Amino acid sequence: MRIAFAEMRRRRGRWLSIVGAVAFIVFLVLVLAALADGLFIGTTGALATGNSDALVYSTDGRRSLVRSELPVSDLPEIAAVTGVADVGALGVLLTTATAAAAPFDAAVIGHIPGRAGEPTKLVDGRRPEVGEPGVVLADASLEDEGISLGDTLTIVGASQSLSVVGFVEDSRYLLAHSLWVPLETWEALRIEVRPETARLGAFVQAFPILVEEGADVERVAGEIDRVMGATETVTTDEAALSLPGVEQQESTFTAIIAASFVVVGLVIALFFALITLEKRGQFAILKAIGSSNVLLLQGVLFQALFATVAGYAVGFLLARLLGFILPSTVPVAFLPATAASLFLATVAMGGVGAAFSFRRVIRIDPASALGGEA
Amino acid sequence: MFIAVRDLWRSKLRFGLLAGAVGLLIFLLLFLNTLSSTLLGSFIGAIENNSSEVLVFEDTARRNLQASRLDPSVVVDVATVPGVAAAAPIGELTLTVDLAGSLTDLSLWGVDLEGPGRPVPIVEGRDPGPGEVVVDKSSVDEGFEIGETITLVPSGTELTIVGYVEDLRYAVVPTAYVGFDEWVVVFETEFPGTPMVPLSLVGVEPEPGENPADLGDRITSVVAGVEGLDRAAAAAAAPGVASISQSFALIVGITFAVVVLVVGFFFLILTIQKLRSFTTLRAIGAGTGYLASSLIVQIVVLVLLGSMLATAGLWVATLGSSASFPLTVDATLVAVVTVAVLVFSILAGLLSIRRIAKVEPAEAARGIN
Amino acid sequence: MTAMFVDDVTKVYGEGRTAVRALCNASISLRDNEFLALVGPSGSGKTTLLSVIGGLLAPTSGSVIIGDTTLTDLSKKEQTRFRANRVGFVFQGFNLVPFLTARENMTVMASISDNSRNDIEERADQLLEELGLADRSDNLPEQLSGGERQRVAIGRALVTDPDLILVDEPTASLDTELGTQVVKLLASEIKSRGKAGIMVTHDLRMVEFTDRTVKILDGELLTGSDPAASD
């Protein structure tokens, strides 16, 4: 260990380069993952961070919020199903909204404040009251656009204006900024902006539900569909994946991240195999003066672990730094689970790479340290 | 050259490992590029590759196709703008359809089959007539094949698929193109009692020699309540696309930078290894220029070898592609990426060369340990 | 007492027509506290013999006995351990670890041998004094002169208090004055500590510091291989 450490200390330049290379590789994957996670949350946040275990759609809606239609009057029936602890309502209207200045893509989401499906991460202000007119709970990403509490928003094509009373986080829908309004407000807006839907009467697009403590979500979902007849109830996770484009996005990103993990892992492994290979002369000397193979291998492993851990730390910091300076139009999310698994993968691959060269190290002939003539 | 090649040949394993690592990184770059353009294409292919070079939106819709609703009379107004050779209505409607017993989403585009916005080129089959549609070829995976009948839900209207187009997908769902008048009928059937059937866009064909972007601006200023954009701008402005394409641009950019830096690091580390041999070479009279060019030769060989490995890897990846997610090996992409990595790697290698230049030939005689 | 005994050792490289006989039926014995000079021209096989004695090279046939241990009977692992603890090797190219200081090049033996770190460090400091390296102890090999590096190599060979010291061409890269100094130093260290040593050299002027000289030519040992005969 001492020898390994001494080598790193004295050959600082080279080891800094190694740590640097690992850092950059780690940085790459962390940023990729953060972008993927960011896009996922930006697309599905409204559902994913909503307070629900499952969503009830109409069967012909085929898990599409835009196409699903259920009469509001169905709510009490669903609430009565065994295992259902709470039922809320969801309706989504994709349109444009304006604040004082520039217009922005908006998803006006009608919900019942205080019931299942409402966004959980309130970061500022307050929630609207049930049925309270003229107010809106906006996604925190709008703060970056210069909107603050008390500002007035107008929906294009509608006469009503809305006052911002609070902000929630990670609640965007299909990357549009979400505006959460009480269900009644949503109905009124919808009729004005999409007049062709007026004939349908008071409807919602989905009923978010919460199941009772200990109940099996899948079973309750099945029960609801059995009782109601024309519904399809899916878990919130499945619902998120069914949002348009999400599955393709996710599979694309999964492919990208998987490829990156593999490439990064192999590159790191190759890297350390290469470095160990280069040290043949040094190892021959140490063997000649009586160093055992075990000692050398320990040193190699130690250096690999040290360099990968240090490289990971630097890469991690760089990635976070990038996250800070990115403009708000690029959604990023650094999830701890991703960071942790990448850490393990990096260190493991460093070890694997070092191990690749073990056989060669063992085979190094101490006699090769002898210079000069026979 | 001689030394460079001999060195390479003698340490095959070391160079093999290095080429492997570089190859993997280049592969990643190519793979990312391919995936991102495929994904983006499935979102906005219909806009980006539309046969109208200029697309006119409702101005308050803020370039959002879903929110854009135009009165049919706008087509005439747009047609009178100087520079417009032809203007035609385009309507888009996403609805549920029944295909061979199972329900699926469909993006139905109503277009002037002879004007701007018409689905071209038809890669297989023929132009649609009444009651017929052509679909984007990627939809084949979802069961949309020539000869199949699509039944709209809940109206029951039936449409037969008679041909394929390529790269004209919209919003990731299967996409079909039908004559505009039929599309209007579909809309009215889906939404009975609707006061008016709005267009989503007006497709414009510019006069020869007209710059699409400029024409778009002109249309915006002349006609009230509209915004004209060239296809590329319209595609880039589609909601969510901006975020996705920015994210991807960032991903590709960072990957590129990392690939170059890592290759540079590799060479820096290896050059330091070879200091002793370089010293000996210097002692026998090799100039810095000679050593530097040897290093560059090695970098070139390495990057080219890595690039070949990467292309092979990409080709293997394309074997896993499907009609809905087509992956192809784009020769231009490979060439551009290879050249870019090469150029920057050589620049990074120049750093190593500085190290070589500092080597004192006299040290060789002393026989440094 | 015999400190070391080489019994009929042959070393052949390669096979058939391309076979090279580096050593041919070599036998030699060394008494306790004896400093032997092994003299021969380039290519005579002296480094090969030294390597076989040190366990760095396995002979094609024959055996090597050091003290009470038959080296050639030990496994590779045991040979390495033996070398770490019981043999001190001063290489022709010094073979110092380039990223360790003079002192560290000696104390590294604490990680490698079975000696306690305290013992090694004590002896290292003492040797640094005796070898005149006290004020160079924190320098890296690249900062030391040839003679200083040579002395570090000697110190490393002695720091584990081995029974047998093997020295390969100690004067090869030094001028006459320095070379003589070094060999004198070696002799005094070996003799005063009661150790046995073999020095390979092609410089006949150095043999005056040794107890006995053995000549080697083309892999064969000539006069003086038997201590009794040459006294």
Tell me if chain C has a CB within 8 Å of the CB of A325: no
Q: At what angle do helices A336-356 and A12-48 cross, to 10 degrees?
A: 150
Distance CA A31, CA A307 (A): 20
- A77-81, A101-105, A328-332 — which one is most confidently predicted on average? A77-81
Amino acid at B6: R
pLDDT the model gives residue A266: 80
Say if residue B322's pLDDT is above 80: no
pLDDT tens-place string over residues B282-301: 666 666 777 777 778 888 88
Say if residue C21's pLDDT is above 70: yes
Say if residue A221's pLDDT is above 60: yes
Which chain C residues contact residue A285 at CB under 8 A?
A: 95-97
Say if residue C99's pLDDT is above 50: yes
CA distance C171 to chain B (A): 15
Which residue has tokens 């008048």? Answer: B181
Which chain B residues contact residue A104 at CB under 8 A?
A: 62
CA distance A349 to chain C (A): 27
The domain segmentation of chain B, as residue ranges, is 2-43+242-366, 47-239
Q: For the residues C152-157, what does the mean pLDDT come to?
A: 91
CA-angle at B317, arms to B313 and B321, nearest 5°:
160
Helices (H), A183-325: 183-193, 217-228, 236-242, 246-278, 280-288, 293-325
Distance CA B168, CA B108 (A): 12
pLDDT the model gives residue A182: 92
Longest dimension (CA), chain B: 98
What's the domain count of chain C?
A: 1
Q: Are B121 and B112 in contact (CB under 8 A)?
A: no
Tell me if chain B has a CB within 8 Å of the CB of A154: no
Tell me if chain A has a CB within 8 Å of the CB of C180: no
Choose, out of A252, A262, A283, A325, the residue to mutate when testing the contact with B (most B CBs < 10 Å). A252
Residue A180: pLDDT band (50, 70, 90) is very high
Distance CA C160, CA C158 (A): 6
Distance CA B79, CA C8 (A): 108
Q: Which of A259-273, B18-32, C104-118 has the lowest mean pLDDT?
A: A259-273
3-state secondary structure B30-69: HHHHHHHHHHHHHHHHHHHCCCCCEEEEEHHHCCCHHHCC
Tell me the CA end-to-end span of chain C in Å, nearest whole number: 16
Distance CA A88, CA A59 (A): 18
Q: How far is CA A129 from CA A137, A181, A286, B249, B301, in A?
A: 11, 10, 77, 42, 69
CATH code of the domain in which C7 resides: 3.40.50.300
Distance CA A303, CA A306 (A): 5
Distance CA A181, CA A204 (A): 13
CA-nearest of B359, B341, B363, B361 to B27 is B341
Q: For the residues B123-145, what does the mean pLDDT come to?
A: 86
DSSP helix/strand/coil, C168: strand
Q: Are A221 and A57 in contact (CB under 8 A)?
A: no
Q: Please answer yes or no on whether A370 and C84 come within 8 Å at the CB atom.
A: no
DSSP code per residue over A196-223 = GGGGG-SEESBEEEEEPTT--HHHHHHH
pLDDT tens-place string over residues A53-79: 999 998 877 787 877 888 888 888 888
pLDDT the model gives residue B368: 44
Backbone φ/ψ region at B172: left (φ over 0), alpha (ψ -120 to 50), beta: left
Which chain C residues contact residue A286 at CB under 8 A?
A: 97, 108, 112
Q: For the residues A25-47, what does the mean pLDDT come to?
A: 87
Q: Are B215 and B84 in contact (CB under 8 A)?
A: yes
Q: Please answer yes or no on whether C56 and A370 come within 8 Å at the CB atom.
A: yes
Give the list of residues 6+ apart from residue B287 with CB closer than 8 angstroms, or none.
none
Say if residue C231's pLDDT is above 60: no
* Closest CB to B247 among A17, A62, A330: A330
Q: How far is CA A70 from CA B25, B185, B281, C106, in A?
A: 50, 26, 83, 84
* Closest CB to C100 among A6, A290, A373: A6
A130: how many CB neighbours lie within 10 A of its CB?
13
Strands B102-111 and B175-179: parallel
Q: How far is CA C51 from CA A368, A374, B38, C62, in A?
A: 11, 10, 65, 14
Distance CA C196, CA C198 (A): 7
Q: Which of B38-47, B124-133, B356-365, C183-192 has the lowest mean pLDDT?
A: B356-365
Q: Which two tokens stand for residue A366?
A: 């101490």
Stretch 12-31 of chain C: residues touching chain A, C-beta under 8 Å: 22
In this structure, chain A runs to a length of 374
Q: For the residues B63-78, what does the mean pLDDT come to?
A: 86
Q: Which chains touch C (3 or more CB pairs under 8 A)?
A: A, B
Say if residue A316's pLDDT is above 90: yes
Does residue C231 fall inside a structural domain?
no
Say if residue B272's pLDDT is above 70: no
Q: Are C173 and B367 in contact (CB under 8 A)?
A: yes
Distance CA C182, CA C186 (A): 6
Distance CA A341, CA A345 (A): 6
pLDDT the model gives residue B94: 84
Q: For the residues A121-146, what does the mean pLDDT come to?
A: 88
DSSP helix/strand/coil, C2: strand
DSSP helix/strand/coil, C3: strand
Distance CA A276, CA A303 (A): 10
* Closest CB to A290 among C48, C57, C112: C112
CA-nearest of A44, B210, A291, B118 to C156 is A291
Distance CA B150, CA B189 (A): 15
Distance CA B293, CA C84 (A): 45
Q: Please answer yes or no on whether B369 and C96 come within 8 Å at the CB atom.
A: yes
- The phi, psi pair for B228, rounded to 5°, reads -100, 135
Q: Which residues, listed in sequence order, are joined to residue A231 by a DSSP beta bridge?
A: A58
Q: How far is CA B49 from CA A254, B69, B119, C102, C174, in A?
A: 27, 21, 9, 72, 79
Residue B269: pLDDT band (50, 70, 90) is low
With 0-12 CB in 10 A as exposed, 13-18 as middle and 19+ as buried, what is B350?
middle
* Closest CB to A292 among C80, C140, C169: C80
Residue B121: cis peptide before it, omega within 30 degrees of 0: yes
Say if residue C230's pLDDT is above 50: no
pLDDT the model gives residue C229: 45
CA-angle at A109, arms to A106 and A112, nearest 5°:
155
Q: For the residues A36-53, what does the mean pLDDT come to?
A: 87
Q: How far is CA A343 from CA A5, A335, B148, B254, in A?
A: 22, 13, 51, 20
Distance of CA B40 to the CA centre of its chain: 6
Which chain C residues contact residue B365 at CB under 8 A?
A: none
Say if residue A125's pLDDT is above 50: yes
Q: Which residues, listed in sequence order, are joined to residue B57 by a DSSP beta bridge?
A: B227
Q: Please answer yes or no on whether A286 and C112 come within 8 Å at the CB atom.
A: yes
CA-angle at C16, arms to C11 and C22, nearest 5°:
20
Tell me if chain A has a CB within 8 Å of the CB of C149: no
- The domain in which residue C114 lies consists of 2-226
* Closest CB to C91 among A286, A288, A293: A288
Please report, rounded to a whole number, the percentage of residues in chain C having pLDDT higher than 90: 16
* Closest CB to B20 among A14, A270, A278: A270
Say if residue B358's pLDDT is above 80: no
Say if residue A200's pLDDT is above 90: no
Q: Which two tokens stand for residue A1?
A: 């260990």
CA R_g for chain A: 29
Residue B3: pLDDT band (50, 70, 90) is low
Please report, rounded to a whole number, the percentage of residues in chain A having pLDDT higher than 90: 10
pLDDT the model gives residue C11: 85
Tell me if chain B has a CB within 8 Å of the CB of A235: no
Tell me if chain A has a CB within 8 Å of the CB of C209: no
Say if residue C226's pLDDT is above 70: no
C117: how many CB neighbours lie within 10 A of its CB?
12
Q: What is the mean pLDDT of chain A?
A: 85
pLDDT tens-place string over residues B7-58: 667 677 777 877 888 888 888 888 888 888 888 888 888 888 888 889 999 8
pLDDT the model gives residue A137: 92
CA distance B269 to chain C (A): 16
Q: Are A58 and A229 in contact (CB under 8 A)?
A: no
Interface of B with C (CB under 8 A): 366-369
Which chain C residues contact residue B368 at CB under 8 A?
A: 142
CA-nearest of B266, B64, C45 to A272 is B266
ipTM: 0.80
A73: how many CB neighbours lie within 10 A of its CB?
10
Element (H, E) at C209: none
Say if residue A313's pLDDT is above 90: yes
Q: How far is CA A251 from CA A247, B238, B315, C65, C186, in A?
A: 6, 21, 19, 69, 72
Q: What is the mean pLDDT of chain B?
A: 81
Give the list of residues 6+ apart from residue A331 with CB closer than 8 angstroms, or none.
A35, A38, A39, A41, A42, A172, A175, B243, B247
pLDDT tens-place string over residues C52-80: 888 888 889 999 998 888 888 888 888 88
Q: At what angle do helices B288-318 and B2-10 cross, to 10 degrees?
A: 50
Please report, rounded to a whole number, the percentage of residues in chain C having pLDDT higher than 70: 96
A250: how many CB neighbours lie within 10 A of its CB?
17
Does residue C61 fall inside a structural domain?
yes
Distance CA A171, CA A41 (A): 8
The conformation of residue C231, written as its DSSP 8-state character, comes to -
CA-nearest of B45, B113, B79 to B206 is B79
* Closest CB to A367 among C56, C104, C156: C56
